[in-house]
Amino acid sequence: MRKQIAAANWKMNLTYQKAEVLLKEFLSQPQNLSDNKLVVLAVPSPYLTMAVDKIAGEKHMYIAAQNVYSKKSGAYTGEVSVEMLQSIGVTYAIVGHSECREYFNEDNALLADKVKICLEHNIVPIFCCGEALPVREANGQNEYVTGQLQDSLFDLSEDQIKKVVIAYEPIWAIGTGKTASSLQAQEMHAHIRSQLTTKYGADVADSITILYGGSVKGANAKDIFGQPDVDGGLVGGASLNAEEFKQIVQGLK
């Protein structure tokens, strides 16, 4: 049974004190997570140690970095390595978020390196893919996302790819209030799974968790997550409200 994941991406928000309050509010609410349902909280780097400490003892709950560098160590001022994350108990990392692709010029080759170094150090990469509005309007989304998968993931072995979480994020629906319909989300998730099937076979493809990211809210989470190939969400703004994010977690199937 595929893991169902509600992943929160706090992005560059909250002071340390406000982050503590938000975590306390969320953790005070019983989540009743079954073995196939996980919560992953991607918090800003300065708060990672605090967050790891706060969730200690919580079942099915993990902390993620919002990014990671492609090298193990070295003279890369300001970057965070997989070894650093591993040493403080972080077990997930977002790789290739559309904002990092756009603002920091992260390309598919660099992201391939990031995915591999995460896997080498037992960090689960949440690999983001997705198209901008002009690509969608030209009906080129399937080919575009296929290219991202091929360039960044398809050099992985079967054992490696099974450890990757994929997050499809239509860029036109991030922070805009627009949301892909549940049918649009399902169509792309099914396409991604079909590409995985072609490359690795049906058994491997069926085992991989694929998340939807793009203006997920408590009100639409259950409908979107209820689609057969959608295994949860990578949630931005709505994860900054404890009650709203709890509703999203409850939408997991």
Q: What is the DSSP letter of 89?
A: T
What is the overall mean pLDDT for the chain?
96
Q: What percent of the chain has pLDDT over 70?
A: 99
What is the average per-residue pLDDT within 111-136? Answer: 97
State how far the Cα of 246 lies from the Cα of 242, in Å rounded to an integer.
Answer: 6
pLDDT single digits (tens) 174-202:
767 677 789 999 999 999 999 999 999 99
Catalytic pick among 106, 169, 189, 191:
169
The one catalytic residue in 97, 99, 106, 131 is: 97
pTM, two decimal places: 0.97
The pLDDT assigned to 97 comes to: 97
Q: Look-up: residue for tokens 């960090």? A: 123
Domain with 89, as residue range(s), is 4-250
| CATH number of the CATH domain containing 151 | 3.20.20.70
Q: Is the pLDDT of residue 30 over 90?
A: no
pLDDT tens for 225-247 read: 999 999 999 999 999 999 999 99
- How many CB atoms lie under 10 A from the CB of residue 210? 25
Distances (CA, A) of 54 to 6, 51, 235: 18, 5, 20
Number of domains in the chain: 1
pLDDT of residue 57: 92
Residues in the chain: 253
Residue 30, classified by CB atoms within 10 Å of its CB into exposed (0-12), middle (13-18) or buried (19+), is exposed
Contact 174, 98 (CB under 8 A): yes
Q: Is 169 a catalytic residue?
A: yes
Orientation angle between helical segments 108-120 and 141-152, nearest 10 degrees: 50
Reported as a single tens digit per residue, the pLDDT across 51-65 is: 999 999 999 999 999
